[in-house]
Structure 1
Amino acid sequence: MTHSVPQETESQFSLDFPYALGKPEWSGILKAANADFVVQEIFPESFSNEGEHHYVLVEKDGENSHWVARLLAEYCNVDVSAVGLAGLKDRYAVTQQWFSVQLPGQAKMDWSGFNSPNYKILKAARHHKKLRRGDHLGNRFIIVIRDIDKNAAQADLEQRLSAIKYQGVPNYFGEQRFGISGENLVQAQAWFQDGKRIKNRKQKSFVLSAARSYLFNVMLAKRVVLSNWQQAIPGDVLDSDYPSGPMWGRGRLASQDDALLLEQALVEEYSVWCDALEHQGLKQERRPLVLMPANLSWRWQDDALELSFQLPPGQFATAVLRELFNYRELNRHG
């Protein structure tokens, strides 16, 4: 029997997707302080040093990327649409990322008055085009997990880390994609199934992205259960040498044979959602099933574990962390 909509229709959606290494038994604290979650944008920095787009590398502590973009627009007395960025960074973290501001006819810009205790400009340059989403090469993470029972957990955690370094982890979208308690998915269900349209354009975009990401996670979860998320099966479409799964939209599935049968079963199970995403004009795309963190290393600091690794754009550090810890973030307000 198949289902035309997700089974979690009335209440919270389940985001407890299968684990590659088994559900971890160890607990820890994530983001005990902003400095425990450092994100550094990896950017080519090949600037033309001419043109009307002024680029700045901003380090921010506990600030939202969109908020900093608005501050830059206000400082330069331009509309926020003149500000570009390559990707959104975590708020409760210390992050470094590039922004661009379009300032026609202005060869120089004095940034000395912009800095504050929570954000500062580290570098500035000029370029001939606006910074767009995905223009960065990836992100470097330095993450500290605290309050670990090191004596009990060390051997298992280091075994898991060695396995991750060798085989990667399932490339799940992180829980932050789905909103607090999966609220974006609840809104998607109300829209797709019950016709409750979303008027706010920004929220509509979030909900569509969440629905699409959830379908990908469901497909990946099926492959994890089948233990073939890392190995190509007949008909798989490879992306960066790894099997890929569909990011749903208009167009035919690129997969064939056994892979196509699996993906068609997803279409039957979630037909209402697939139809809705197609009608919104999204195009069929692919995403690798495997997330392989680059330059993964770790070191112990008493009862804390520091992890360092790099990820391509659009991949989530939490996909790595969930295979290691049943972690919790300290409550944040504001």
Structure 2
Amino acid sequence: MPDPTADLPHALGGPCCRGIIKLSPDDFVVDEVLGFEPSGEGEHVFLRIEKRGENTEYLARQIARFARTPVRNVSYSGLKDRHGRTIQWFSVQLPGQVGPDWSEFETDSVRILEMTRNQRKLRRGAALGNRFELTLRQLDGAPDQLETRLNDVAQAGVPNYFGPQRFGRDGQNLDAAKALFRGDSPRPNPHQRGLYLSAARSEIFNHILAERVRQGNWNTAMDGDVFMFSGSHSIFRAEALDEDILRRVLGQEIHPSGVLWGKQPSTATGAALAIENRIAASLSDLAEGLASADLETSRRPLRLCPDALTWAFTTPDTLKLNFVLPSGAYATTVLRELVNMTGFEG
């Protein structure tokens, strides 16, 4: 199937130019922000690794093989793009062991930047976020138009869509989820099952958010909204949309959220719940499959506000972008409001 995100509506008017990304790995640099300091002692070796053209899961298997330990003892916070230069942390459980000489693990595409220890392993989703340094080349639009759009993004944020990476190449994870729910596929292993379920609930969320974008209320409070604090997973439902709530939403202290479908009912009410239920009904095969899969219902902010967003034109048709996104957010979600990209894979 084609990219499931290709036809999602834009909030700021759509891309204002075309361009190319990832002509080289250094055009797409991701640096994981861990968000805590390893203790320096314990049975878990923490490795900060720079990799080029390497898949996170593949590298985890290589680490396990090098350390002569089962792959289940290797952990990481999240998957990183293979097509670029990425820096992320891995943990390896080696109780009572000094461990190998990690310098011998390095290759032309893998470097060990830091090594320390911690008392607990690195858990999925534990990282605070990711710092991006991107280079867009061969831009064919007017720089002043792109500058205006960048200011719009800096001030308003963008819809917090799940990016195409969430759905696998050509949306294959979403296809696999549908086949799984129909009972038309072999039983997947736990890792594959997790990918398929994530794709299914991401599809529902993206369509809920798309409807809010079409209605023009993706970044404003509406009746029945559940709000999320900026930089936190904590949520609350306001008794009334009073001036304080409206001020905090406008100031990006809190964000309206959308449901990540699961076995419990959504905590939204009123008009917000009506949108969620209408979209879920239109994707009933996914919603029913997720409910039967025993997934905990969760929520995700509808708005994504890039932090520390800066930019510079190094030539009239080359733009360098720097920004920080929270864990679980996608650089492609920011870029799609700016540039119609080619050369992006993953």
Find out whether 1:205 has 2:194 as its counterpart: yes
Could you tell me which residue of structure 1 aligns to residue 259 of structure 2? 246
CA distance in 2, matches of 1:39, 1:64: 13
Partner of 1:188: 177
Correspondence for 2:207: 218
CA offsets, 1:33-72, max 9 Å, x none? 1110000011135222221111111011111111111111
Is the 8 Å Cα contact of residues 56 and 121 (structure 1) preserved in structure 2? yes
Q: What is the TM-score with the length of structure 2 in the denominator?
A: 0.88
2:178 corresponds to 1:165: no
Whole-Å Cα distance in 2 between the matches of residues 20 and 68 of structure 1? 37
The answer as to 2:52 corresponding to 1:61 is yes
Structure 1 pair 330/178, CA: closer, same or farther in 2 (3 Å)? closer
Change (3 A) 1:45 1:239: closer
- The secondary structure found in structure 2 opposite 1:44 is coil
- The farther-off stretch of 105-114 and 269-278 is 105-114
Aligned length: 319
Cα distance 1:126–1:167, how it changes in 2: closer, same or farther (>3 A)? same
Distance 1:102 1:296 in 2: 36
Identify which of 26, 33, 47 aligns with 1:42: 33
Runs of 4+ in 1 over 6 A off after TM superposition: none
Q: Which residue of the other structure, out of 292, 303, 318, is the alignment partner of 1:290?
A: 303
Structure 1 residue aligned with 2:121 = 130
- Classify 1:223/1:185 alpha carbon distance in 2 versus 1 (closer, same or farther; 3 Å): same
Q: 2:323 aligns with which of 305, 309, 334?
A: 309
Q: Distance in 1 between matches of 2:267 and 2:184?
A: 32
Give, in whole Å, the separation in 1 of the partners of 2:198 and 2:134.
26
- Cα–Cα, structure 1 residues 14 and 69, in superposed 2: closer, same or farther, change >3 Å? closer
Distance 2:36 2:260 in 1: 30
Q: Which runs of 5+ in 1 are unaligned?
A: 1-10
Query: What is the CA distance between 1:108 and its match in structure 2?
Result: 5.7
CA contact under 8 A between 2:204 and 2:280: conserved in structure 1?
no
* 1:237 paired residue number: 226
Aligned residue identity for 1:286: R
Aligned to 1:7: none
The one-letter code of the counterpart of 1:163 is: D
Matched, 1:174 2:163: yes
| Residues 12 and 36 of structure 1, relative CA distance in 2, 3 Å threshold | closer
Q: Identify if the C-alpha distance between structure 1 residues 330 and 218 changes in structure 2 by more than 3 Å, giving closer, same or farther.
A: closer
Task: Give the match for residue 120 of structure 1.
Answer: 111
Please report the TM-score for the alignment, with normalisation by the length of structure 1: 0.91
- Letter of the 1:321 counterpart: L
User: Counterpart of 2:31 in 1: which secondary structure?
Assistant: strand
Matches within 5 A, 1:49-88: 49-88=40-79
Q: How many angstroms does 1:330 deviate by?
A: 6.2
Residues 115-142 of structure 1 deviation map (CA, whole Å, 9 limit, x = unaligned): 1110010111011111111111100000
Letter in 2 for 1:222: E
Contact 2:31–2:88 (Cα < 8 Å) also in 1: yes
Q: Which runs of 5+ in 2 are unaligned?
A: 230-253
Q: Is 1:18 aligned with 2:9?
A: yes
Give me the whole-angstrom Cα distance separating, in 1, the residues matched to 2:345 and 2:119.
Answer: 42
Q: Which residue identity lines up with residue 39 of structure 1 in the other structure?
A: V
CA, structure 1 residues 116+13, in 2 after alignment: closer, same or farther (shift >3 Å)? closer
Distance 1:267 1:159, change over 3 A: same
Q: Aligned residues: percent identity?
A: 44
The answer to whether structure 1 residue 272 and structure 2 residue 285 are counterparts is: yes
| Secondary structure in structure 1 of the residue aligned to 2:102 | coil
